[in-house]
Amino acid sequence: MANEQSESIQVEGCSVIYDMGSGLVIAKVQIDKVKEQDINARVMKNEMQDQLTANILKRGQLESLPFLVLKDGKLEIVSGHHRIKSARAAGLKEIIVIVDVSGLSRSQIAAKQLAHNAISGFDDGSTLREIVKMITDVDDMIESFVGNDIMEEPLEAYDKMLSPAIQFDFKNVTFSFLPHQVQDMDALIKNLETTASEIIGVASYEQCKGFVETLSQYQKFTDIRNVGAAIHSMIQNANEKMDGVGFNEDEEWTYLAKLFGSNAIPGESAKVMQQAIKKAEKEGAVTSKNRWQLIEYLCADYLSGR
């Protein structure tokens, strides 16, 4: 529980969770109430910042606490500029932080900012490689953002274990969802002139949400974390469905609903059709893959007047 000292702190957008003592508290703060320092020496590459954002988006919160200071009634960042930047990009409204409420001077804040950036230690290369070997999932490897120099040794070890060695051939696939506007299509065509994608998919912009939601649900349903593997599994299911009805791409196919104007019929009619199908299968007139052909036979008889 927070003691009387922490409870007396009245800062907009800041709710104290626990008083650590020595002028430090753990608090939940509104991210739009947090101010960045005008100057920050620590920099981060764009791709690393993007990966940090992706990690936060996946977890839904920060995994390490930024360090803030209360100065003149405002919350200022001392350490964690990039974490908070990515938290904003990930859409977080509130974050948990450590706040120094002891009343630091501007000089003390600057000193702590440099200290937090500088005193971060370093990774032992051999130990880091041993940890990397524990990672068995591609998504986890991406999340770790380990450099190629560290990855080189484990990958070489994996290659030696493969007998015979297998070379994978990859193709780039691009899914583009566009509003129904000519200028957007023109922009896509110009972009495709420089892309390495070998398969291009273009669809209505309104279909993007449905595609993403279905893909996400399918990943949860099948417990497939990798996006590419999930799409491959969806394709396999579609192929199995087409194979199940004897689909032949050399022939023109259409949906029965397009012919009948509906994909539903009364229950009593369905029972009669089911009985006819069972009889036709038993007699060998049709199989489970071409039941639809029974309709063709009946229609042909009808047209011939039989």
Tens of pLDDT, residues 15-24: 899 898 989 9
110-141 per-position pLDDT tens digit: 888 777 766 655 555 666 566 666 666 656 55
Residue 16 lies in a domain: yes
Give the C-alpha separation, 101 to 234, whole Å: 54
Residue 31 lies in a domain: yes
Give the C-alpha separation, 84 to 64, whole Å: 11
Boundaries of domain holding 104: 4-118
Q: Are residues 108 and 34 in the same domain?
A: yes
Q: Are residues 210 and 290 in the same domain?
A: no
Residue 76 lies in a domain: yes
Q: Are residues 40 and 74 in the same domain?
A: yes
Q: Are residues 213 and 232 in the same domain?
A: yes
Q: Are residues 130 and 208 in the same domain?
A: no
188-197 per-position pLDDT tens digit: 556 555 555 5
Where a domain ends, among 118, 151, 184?
118
Confidence of residue 69 (pLDDT cuts 50, 70, 90): very high
Residue 167 lies in a domain: no
Task: Tell me the whole-structure pTM to 2 decimals.
Answer: 0.42
Q: Are residues 143 and 43 in the same domain?
A: no
Residue 37 lies in a domain: yes
Q: Are residues 99 and 153 in the same domain?
A: no
Q: Are residues 35 and 107 in the same domain?
A: yes
Q: Are residues 179 and 212 in the same domain?
A: yes
210-221 per-position pLDDT tens digit: 888 888 888 888
Where a domain ends, among 161, 189, 217?
161
Q: Is 43 exposed, middle or buried (0-12, 13-18, 19+ CB in 10 A)?
A: exposed
Q: Total structural domains in the chain?
A: 4
At residue 24, the pLDDT reads 92
Q: Are residues 37 and 83 in the same domain?
A: yes
Q: Are residues 262 and 200 in the same domain?
A: no
230-267 per-position pLDDT tens digit: 887 888 888 887 777 777 777 787 777 777 777 788 88
